C-alpha cells in the first residue's frame, strides 16, 4: 500500500507582537494571549448655544422707525445731516469762486490767505494769533558767470622757463590759492548753471569759446591742465598732474617738463606695465 500522500498541516504562523496590529489579529496564534482593546475616543462636548440677537429696526420694515444706515453700522453721527450739507455747500461755493478768480487772472477772491488750503478758508476761523502766513522765500538767482578774475596765477611759456637748477624748490600751493575763479557749487549746478574752468574761466560746452572739463579734474579744463602756471603770491611754478589729479610744484616734473604726469605717476605707470607684461608671459 502506498503511504498517505496528504501533506502535513503547515506550522502555525508566528507573528511578532509588533506585527499583530498590522495583520489585524486580536490574539496570538501560539500563546492565545488576547490583545487589549483600544480605548474608545472621548465624546466631544456639545457647543454652547449662542444668545439670540435682538432684531434691528430698519426703515425698510413696515411700521418701523426710520433709521439712517450710518447709524445702524457705525452708531449715531456726531453732527447732523443738515450741518454736513451746509458745510459742503459752503466749501463748493468757495472752490467755485476761487476757480473763477484764477480764470480771470485776479488774486484769491474768497478770503485772505492765512497759509491753509483755499477751499476751506471760508469755513474755518482765522488763526488764533491773527498773524498772516509768511510768504515763501524766492529761490536764489543762479550765477551764470564765473565771477571776477582773482588773478591768483598766470601761464608761463615752457621754452622761456629758467633751468630747474636755478629755481628754488617750494611747497606745492594749495588748490584754493591758485584758482583764478571761484568753483561752481553743486547748488548752482543743480539750479541750471553751466560749469566753468577755475583757471581760465571759460564755460563748459561744445561752442567756439567753450572748453571740455573732465569730471575728475576738479573743474580744470583740458587746456589748463597741460600748461605751466606761476603762483603770483609765492612765485612758485606748478602744473596739473593728470595721474594724481592735483597740482604739483614744477620740480615734480623734472624728468620731463612737458609731460602731463609727474615723475611719481609716470613711475607707477611703468611699474604697472612691467607687471602686466610679466603676467602675460607667465
Q: Is the pLDDT of residue 219 over 60?
A: yes
* Contact (Cβ atoms closer than 8 angstroms) between residue 243 and residue 265: yes
Pairing mode of beta strands 228-231, 246-249: unpaired
Report residue 249's pLDDT band, with 50, 70 and 90 as the boundaries.
Answer: very high
Q: What is the pLDDT of residue 141?
A: 44
Compare 217 and 4 and report the one with higher pLDDT.
217
Mean pLDDT in the chain? 77
Where does the pLDDT of residue 273 fall: very low under 50, low under 70, confident under 90, or very high at 90 and above?
A: very high
State mean pLDDT over 212-241.
93
Lowest mean pLDDT among 20-24, 87-91, 261-265, 271-275: 20-24
Q: What is the pLDDT of residues 69-86, one digit of tens each?
A: 444 555 555 677 888 888
Where is average pLDDT lowest: 31-45, 111-125, 126-140, 196-210? Answer: 111-125
pLDDT of res. 53:
67
Q: For residue 262, is pLDDT > 80?
A: yes
Domain boundaries, the chain: 90-126, 153-281
Nearest to 250 by CA among 185, 132, 153: 153
Q: Is the pLDDT of residue 18 over 60?
A: no
Amino acid at each position: 500500500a502506498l503511504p498517505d500522500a496528504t501533506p502535513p498541516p503547515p506550522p502555525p504562523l508566528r507573528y511578532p507582537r509588533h506585527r499583530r496590529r498590522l495583520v489585524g489579529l486580536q490574539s496570538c496564534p501560539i500563546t492565545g494571549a488576547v490583545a487589549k482593546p483600544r480605548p474608545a475616543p472621548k465624546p466631544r462636548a456639545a457647543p454652547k448655544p449662542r444668545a439670540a440677537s435682538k432684531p434691528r429696526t430698519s426703515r425698510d420694515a413696515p411700521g418701523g422707525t426710520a433709521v439712517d444706515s450710518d447709524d445702524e453700522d457705525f452708531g449715531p453721527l456726531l453732527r447732523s445731516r443738515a450741518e454736513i450739507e451746509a458745510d459742503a455747500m459752503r466749501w463748493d461755493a468757495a472752490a467755485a469762486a476761487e476757480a473763477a478768480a484764477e480764470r480771470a487772472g485776479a488774486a484769491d477772491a474768497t478770503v485772505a490767505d492765512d497759509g491753509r488750503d483755499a477751499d476751506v478758508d471760508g469755513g474755518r476761523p482765522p488763526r488764533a494769533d491773527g498773524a498772516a502766513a509768511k510768504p515763501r522765500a524766492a529761490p536764489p538767482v543762479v550765477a551764470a558767470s564765473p565771477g571776477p578774475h582773482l588773478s591768483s596765477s598766470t601761464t608761463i611759456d615752457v621754452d622761456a622757463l629758467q633751468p630747474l637748477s636755478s629755481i628754488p624748490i617750494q611747497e606745492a600751493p594749495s588748490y584754493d590759492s591758485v584758482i583764478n575763479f571761484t568753483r561752481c557749487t553743486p547748488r548752482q549746478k543743480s539750479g541750471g548753471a553751466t560749469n566753468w574752468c577755475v583757471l581760465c574761466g571759460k564755460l563748459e560746452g561744445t561752442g567756439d569759446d567753450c572748453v571740455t572739463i573732465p569730471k575728475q579734474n576738479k573743474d580744470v579744463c583740458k587746456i589748463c591742465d597741460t600748461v605751466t602756471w606761476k603762483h603770483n603770491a609765492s612765485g612758485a611754478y606748478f602744473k596739473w598732474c593728470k595721474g594724481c589729479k592735483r597740482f604739483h610744484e614744477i620740480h615734480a616734473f623734472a624728468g620731463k617738463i612737458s609731460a602731463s604726469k609727474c615723475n611719481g605717476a609716470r613711475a607707477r605707470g611703468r611699474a604697472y606695465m612691467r607687471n602686466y607684461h610679466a603676467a602675460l608671459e607667465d
